[in-house]
Structure 1
Amino acid sequence: MELLENVSNDIRRLLGELDTILRNVDINKVATKTTIRQIVGHMCDSASNNTHRIIHLQYQKSPLIFPDYANLGVNDIWIKIQNYNTYEWDDLIHLLKYTTIHVAHVIQNIDSTKLQQQWISALNEHITLEEMIVDYPRHFKLHYDEIVDLIAQ
């Protein structure tokens, strides 16, 4: 399906651009701006959580109540528990690269008959699988831009 391929390609394109930026950033700048590591870590968590949602939404009864790590401040707890500030920089870049490549692969292989399956967020919003995957590049770009802004400071 063209939608799935387009979303997957958008994610891969953004990842390629961000990967280049992260590999070329002055490591001293990253060391003094722990927020960059935290944002990259959050992006890894987002890829992982969205992969799980995508899979579950293709075989479980809809609407699905799925743990919502992104709302109500829970994502900050994830970042703190995983202590991304001490993660080896090259390893963190690899983690982002490969979790994001995987989510793009999973999106490209979604059963298109399942795109209207829904999950219920912690804010009691009903979100379709299609809405979720279409929003993924926007979310990725939001954090990409935050990182670029922090590097520029």
Structure 2
Amino acid sequence: MLTQTAATLEALLLLHIGTLRTLSTEELLFKPSAAKWSKLQIIGHLADSAQNNIRRFIVAQYEENPFIVYNQDKWVEAVGYQGLPPADVIDLWFLLNKQIVQILRRINSDAYHRVCTTGEPHTLEWLAADYVKHLKYHLHQVLDLEPFPYP
């Protein structure tokens, strides 16, 4: 049920926003290698994911099987998260996810099984659950929590 997924997402936001805001700039900007993202870039990636999923959750309610994909590496590079104020990136992530909570709560249950293609066709219900799993996975990376099994 999307209302339960929305509640889970909201709980995750409230649980972790305080800790994210206490991470030092040095910790957020550290890149383990040139090919790896920093913690700030991971948070930025989560903001990009939120933006793309907002579009999916809305468009799939009124279009038949929209095709909505994005290149995560190109988005992180194009936005330039590594050069932005960390507080702004964290706030962006938080506010976009608050919007997702609202959208998920407003989706009529008749639309739960509407489909959006993201490489493969998936229902809105599946996409929402997968979105939360993806968010948990990356939050565990950023906050150095026990590894979260994803997928």
Q: TM-score range by the shorter chain?
A: 0.7 to 0.9
1:127 alignment partner, SS class? strand
Q: Structure 2: which 5+ runs fail to align? A: 32-36, 146-151
Tell me the SS of whatever aligns to 1:59.
coil
**2:58 counterpart residue number:** 55
Match of 1:113 in 2: 110
Q: Deviations over 1:103-142 (max 9, x none)?
A: 11101110211111112222xx221111111222111100
Q: Is residue 45 from structure 1 mapped to residue 48 from structure 2 by the alignment?
A: yes
Give the alignment partner of residue 135 of structure 2, picking from 118, 137, 140.
140
Partner of 1:149 in structure 2? 144
- Alpha-carbon distance in structure 2 between the residues aligned to 1:145 and 1:117: 30
* Aligned-partner Cα distance in 2 for 1:5–1:132: 13
Give the aligned partner of residue 13 of structure 1: 11
- Contact 2:28–2:39, Cα closer than 8 Å, also in 1: yes
CA distance in 1, matches of 2:131, 2:125: 10
Q: Which residue of 2 aligns with 1:35?
A: 38
Shift of 1:67: 2.7
Question: Distance in 1 between the 2:9 and 2:86 partners?
Answer: 21
- Checking the alignment, whether the CA contact within 8 Å between 2:20 and 2:90 is kept in structure 1 is yes
In the other structure, the counterpart of 2:148 is none
TM-score (norm 2): 0.86
**How much has 1:52 moved relative to structure 2?**
0.5
Deviation string 1:15-46 (CA, Å, 9 cap, x unpaired) is: 12221111111222223346111110011011
Paired amino acid for 1:111 = N
Give the counterpart letter for 2:48 in structure 1: D
Gaps of 5+ in 1: none
- Aligned partners of 1:134 and 1:28: how far apart in 2? 32
**CA distance in structure 1 between the aligned counterparts of 2:125 and 2:2, rounded to whole angstroms:** 9
2:28 counterpart letter in structure 1: V
Instruction: Name 1:78's counterpart in structure 2.
Output: 75
Q: Which moved more, 1:75-84 or 1:14-23?
A: 14-23
Structure with a larger share of its residues in helix: 1
Contact 2:27 2:39 in 1 (8 A): no
Letter of the 1:146 counterpart: Q
Moved over 3 A (4+): none
The AA in structure 2 aligned to 1:67 is I
Q: Which amino acid aligns with 2:10?
A: R
